[in-house]
Every structure is written in structure tokens, then in C-alpha cells.
């Protein structure tokens, strides 16, 4: 199969494991916002984000090494066994130590909630490691199924415990833990992971090599934490938990763009790593970047255009102020998506230090703007700091990645579409009925024009796939 065909295949498979669970998350949002108090929702958001922070510190981000190094040794079962055994033993030890620390750190919280939070961290850590092992073994279908299983069980659990049993935050955490546990169990048995685990296969030299790759990703993840959490912490400190709840809700729909782009990025990281030594790598990377950029444009156009409708359908409770943050956050998420695609090139060349440096720069900018503006801008400071910091991250990576791998950028096309999308966000911000209707039409048109080649060729592509006809060299 061609590189483009493999990328398309992986993108479709992974999309089920990233986008479908997010749809389920969106479905649960009105249930959570309607049944949790603002204080409970704010605490729930902080718990999940703090776990996001603590996980890379506990693992030294070794799960990213699992994915990248297993790619290099596909077909070599003994080496794969050595890598997996080393990673899992290390992850198990660090997770136990982390859970003990968390249990003592949360001594002021009730025992029941403390147990649920510690368990959530432990399970989330193990699932993250095993999922990256799954991707490294090229079992993308299993990866997607595991996320679908987890999110579906989580949805059912939240409906039962929160909607019908009125358990509030306790019910949400209980449901998430059970769902994550089932996701781990599925992958463990599907992969027959016990065949890859042998304490004798653990090697210090392998662990050193893996950590040598992964530890520079810690600054990257900590900086990502600053980018994602500093807004909320600063808002919480200055304006309170309820203001954080409003800002958290404002992020839900824009984050759908980040979810969709993560589908491309996961598949792109694999293809970029497999193609890194090809002779035509410059043209291949340039073409893929251009294609993914246009897909991001199309998706963002549709999301912005349908925001007034989605907000009314999905957001319950007194969160109207959240709507006016979304257009700003949409532009920020667009730049975040572009930066993530460029991050795939760093991963392919194993330049994890460059990933960390670029993200640190953006994180510092984010935090400085938050602190400087939050007193007089309120939660809007979080939205503006997100936009500016991701813009800086994108520009930095576009320049820096050229030192590692030459990529041809179509600057005129990029600037044109960014201006168009910014205009759509301004219209969305105004929230006037007839302008929203016009914006919907513009969004559909932008999506079609920016991706017209893909859309027009899709029937032919699907027809070839179903008939098993190989692609003709002269096909456009």
C-alpha cells in the first residue's frame, strides 16, 4: 500500500477511536452541566486537568518512547518484548509510588473521593502506556476499539449514576474509573500482552535509551499543562471556581477541532516516522502538511458555522458568557492544530528536545498574558492568551523545523484561509440570527472549496477500495 493510502487508512481507523469518543463526551456534557453544580463541575475539570499534568511527570513520558521505538522494531518479537517488558515494569513501579503520594497529598478530601482520584490516576497512566504500545505494534484498530469501549461505558455510567442516581461528582469519577479499567482489560487480552511480558527481558540499557528519548517530552507536557491549565488556575484564583466552570464550558466545542486534528496527527506521526529516510521525503512532508492544513480549515469552518446551534443543544445551565469566548478559542485551536502537525516531524526525527523548547516558549507567553490581563479582562484573558501563545508556537515551529527537515509552505494560501476563518469567528461572536445563517452557508462553502480535490475524488477512491482496483499512475 502507498504511503498516502496507509495514511488514509490509519486516519480513518484512528478517527473512530478519537472522534467518536469525543462525540460521546459531547453527549454527556449537557448531563454533567445540568446535574453538577458549578463548583462540582469546576472541581471535576481541575481533577482531570491535574491528572493530565501529573501523568508525564510520573512516567517520564516513557509511553511516547513505546510508540516511537516499537515502530523501528516491528517484526522483531524479541526486541519488542524487551521494550514492552521494560516499559511496563517501569510504569508499574512509578504508578504505585505516584498513587501513594497522591493519597497523602489529598488528605483533606474524603476517603471515598481520595480513593477514586488516586485510582483514576493509576488507571489513566496504565491505559496511556498500553495504548501507545498498541499503536507501536501497528494495532490501530485495537487502539480505536479500546477508546470506544471506554467512552461508551463512561457515558452509560454517567447517565446511571448522575442522571438517575444523583451521585454528582462522585458518580462521574466512579463511571470514568470503571470505563478506563475495561479499556485496559480489552487491550490486555486483545494483544495477548502476557506474551510480551517477561521480567528477564527488562534491561537497564534499554530503559536508559527509552528515557533518553522520552524525558525531553516532559517539558513539552508540562508546558502543554501551562497552556491548558494556567488559564483555569489563574481564573479560579482571581475570579473563583464558578468562573472557571464557565471558561471550561467555553473550551468544550473549540476542543472538538483539537480532537479531530489529533486523528490526523496520530496517523501522521506513524507515517512520518516510517518515511523519514525516503528519498522524496521533502515533497512528501510538504504535500501532507498542505493537505492536513486544508482539512483543518474545512473542519474549523463547519464548527464555527454550527456553534450557535451546538451551544443551544449541548450546553445546559447558566453558561451564556461562555459563548463569546468560543470564537477566540477557535482561532487558537486552529494554530494549535497546525503546530501539532509540525510536531510530527520532530517525532519522526526523534528531536524531542525541540518539541519541548518550542512548547516552553508558548507556555511562558500564555502564563504571562494570563497574569497580566486576568484582572481587567476576566475569563477573556484565558482565551486571548491561548490564541497568542499557539500563534507563537506555530510560527516558531514553522521556522525551526526547517533546520531538521525542509518543508515547502504555501504562505499565500495559508494566510488567505486564516483571514477567512477569522472573519467567520467575528460573525459568530456577533451572534445575530441572519448573520449566523450566512455564516453557515459560508462554512459549507469554505469546507468544500478548501478540500474540493479530496471531496470530488472520494467516490472514485472508495470505488477502488471496494473493487480492489490498484491506483492508476495517471490518476490525479
The answer to whether residue 412 scores a pLDDT higher than 90 is: yes
Angle of helix 38-59 relative to helix 231-239, nearest 10 degrees? 140
Q: Where would I find the H helices in 191-325?
A: 204-214, 217-225, 231-239, 241-252, 255-274, 281-314, 320-323
Number of domains within the chain:
1
The DSSP-derived string for 401-441 is: GGGTS-----HHHHHHHHHHHHHHHHHHHH--HHHHHHHHH
Map grid coordinates 472514485 to a residue: 460
d(CA 305, CA 297): 12
d(CA 117, CA 411): 46
Would 107 be classed as within a structural domain? no
Say whether 55 sits in a helix, a strand or coil.
helix
Q: For 73-118, write each residue's pLDDT tens digit.
A: 777 788 888 889 998 898 888 888 888 887 777 777 777 777 888 8
In a domain, 279, yes or no: yes
Is residue 275 a part of any domain in this protein? yes
Q: How far apart are CA 398 and CA 340, in angstroms?
A: 11
- Residue 462's CB is within 10 A of a number of other CB atoms, namely 10
Structure confidence at residue 418 (pLDDT): 93
3-state secondary structure of 67: helix
Query: Is 178 within the bounds of a domain?
Result: no
Q: What is the pLDDT of residues 40-81, one digit of tens each?
A: 777 777 777 777 777 777 888 888 888 888 887 777 788 888
Q: Please state, for a pLDDT cut of 90, what percent of the chain lies above it.
A: 22
Which DSSP state fits 247?
Answer: H
Residue 407 clears pLDDT 50, i.e. is over it: yes
DSSP class of residue 467?
A: H
Tell me how far apart the alpha carbons of residues 22 and 24 are, in angstroms, rounded to a whole number. 5
Query: And the C-alpha cell for 22?
Result: 469525543
Residue 408 is assigned to a structural domain of this protein:
yes
pTM of the model: 0.72
Residue, of 223 and 182, whose pLDDT is higher: 182
pLDDT at position 440 is 95
Tell me which residue of 177, 162, 194 sits closest to 124, measured CA to CA: 177
Domain-embedded: residue 361: yes
Q: What is the pLDDT of residue 256?
A: 72
Separation CA 395–CA 413 (nearest Å): 16
Q: Which of 111-125, 136-150, 221-235, 322-336 has the lowest mean pLDDT?
A: 221-235
Predicted pLDDT at 473: 38
pLDDT at 8: 67
Dist. CA 251–CA 326, nearest whole Å: 7
CA distances from 334 to 25, 240, 294, 313, 454 (A): 21, 28, 11, 23, 20
Q: Sign of the CA dihedral 59, 61, 65, 68? A: positive
Q: For 222, list phi and psi in degrees, rounded to 5.
A: -65, -40
Angle CA 10–13–15, to nearest 5 = 100
Query: DSSP state, 191?
Result: T
Distance, CA of 254 to CA of 303 (rounded, Å): 8
* Containing structural domain, residue 417: 216-476
Which are the contacts of 85, defined by CB distance < 8 A and separation ≥ 6? 196, 197, 198, 199, 201, 202
Contacts with 308 (C-beta within 8 Å, 6 or more apart), sequence order: 428, 431, 436
The whole-angstrom separation of Cα 81 and Cα 101 is 30
pLDDT of residue 464: 59
What mean pLDDT is predicted for residues 264-293?
A: 83
Residue 76 lies in a domain: no
Does 303 map to a domain? yes
pLDDT at residue 471, rounded to an integer: 43
CA dihedral 443, 449, 452, 454 (to 10 degrees): -60
Amino acid at each position: 500500500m502507498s504511503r498516502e493510502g496507509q495514511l488514509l487508512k490509519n486516519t480513518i481507523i484512528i478517527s473512530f477511536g478519537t472522534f467518536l469518543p469525543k462525540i460521546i463526551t459531547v453527549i454527556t456534557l449537557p448531563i454533567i452541566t445540568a446535574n453538577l453544580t458549578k463548583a462540582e463541575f469546576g472541581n471535576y475539570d481541575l481533577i482531570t486537568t491535574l491528572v493530565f499534568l501529573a501523568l508525564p511527570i510520573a512516567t517520564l513520558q516513557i509511553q511516547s518512547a513505546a510508540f516511537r521505538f516499537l515502530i523501528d522494531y516491528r517484526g522483531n518479537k524479541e526486541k519488542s518484548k524487551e521494550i514492552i517488558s521494560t516499559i511496563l515494569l517501569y510504569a508499574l513501579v512509578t504508578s504505585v509510588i505516584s498513587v501513594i503520594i497522591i493519597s497523602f497529598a489529598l488528605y483533606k478530601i474524603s476517603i471515598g473521593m481520595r480513593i477514586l482520584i488516586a485510582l483514576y490516576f493509576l488507571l489513566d497512566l496504565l491505559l496511556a502506556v498500553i495504548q501507545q504500545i498498541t499503536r507501536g505494534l501497528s494495532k490501530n484498530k485495537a487502539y480505536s476499539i479500546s477508546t470506544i469501549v471506554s467512552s461508551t461505558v463512561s457515558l452509560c455510567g454517567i447517565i446511571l449514576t448522575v442522571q438517575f442516581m444523583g451521585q454528582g461528582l462522585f458518580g462521574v469519577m466512579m463511571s470514568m474509573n470503571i470505563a478506563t479499567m475495561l479499556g485496559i482489560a480489552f487491550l490486555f487480552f486483545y494483544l495477548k500482552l502476557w506474551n510480551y511480558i517477561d521480567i528477564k527481558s527488562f534491561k537497564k540499557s534499554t530503559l536508559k535509551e527509552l528515557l533518553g528519548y522520552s524525558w525531553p517530552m516532559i517539558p513539552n507536557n508540562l508546558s502543554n499543562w501551562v497552556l491548558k491549565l494556567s488559564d483555569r488556575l489563574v481564573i479560579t484564583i482571581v475570579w473563583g471556581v464558578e468562573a472557571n466552570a464557565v471558561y471550561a464550558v467555553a473550551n468544550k466545542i473549540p476542543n472538538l477541532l483539537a480532537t479531530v486534528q489529533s486523528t490526523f496527527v496520530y496517523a501522521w506521526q506513524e507515517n512520518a516516522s516510517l518515511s523519514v529516510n525516503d528519498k522524496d521525503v521533502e515533497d512528501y512532508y510538504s504535500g501532507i502538511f498542505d493537505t492536513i492544513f486544508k482539512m483543518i480549515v474545512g473542519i474549523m469552518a463547519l464548527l464555527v458555522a454550527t456553534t450557535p446551534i451546538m451551544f443551544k443543544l449541548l450546553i445546559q445551565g447558566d453558561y451564556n458568557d461562555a459563548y463569546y469566548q468560543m470564537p477566540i478559542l477557535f482561532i487558537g485551536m486552529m494554530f494549535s492544530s497546525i503546530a501539532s502537525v509540525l510536531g510530527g516531524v520532530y517525532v519522526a526525527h526523534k528531536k524531542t528536545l525541540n518539541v519541548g523548547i518550542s512548547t516552553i516558549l508558548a507556555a511562558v507567553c500564555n502564563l504571562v498574558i494570563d497574569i497580566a490581563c486576568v484582572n481587567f479582562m476576566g475569563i477573556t484573558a484565558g482565551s486571548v492568551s491561548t490564541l497568542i501563545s499557539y500563534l507563537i508556537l506555530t510560527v516558531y515551529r514553522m521556522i525551526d523545523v526547517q533546520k531538521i527537515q525542509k518543508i515547502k509552505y504555501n504562505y499565500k494560501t495559508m494566510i488567505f484561509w486564516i483571514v477567512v476563518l477569522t472573519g467567520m469567528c467575528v460573525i459568530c461572536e456577533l451572534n445575530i440570527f441572519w448573520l449566523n445563517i450566512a455564516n453557515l452557508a459560508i462554512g459549507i462553502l469554505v469546507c468544500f472549496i478548501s478540500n474540493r480535490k479530496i471531496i470530488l475524488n472520494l467516490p472514485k477512491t472508495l470505488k477502488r477500495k471496494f473493487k480492489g482496483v490498484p491506483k492508476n499512475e495517471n490518476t490525479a
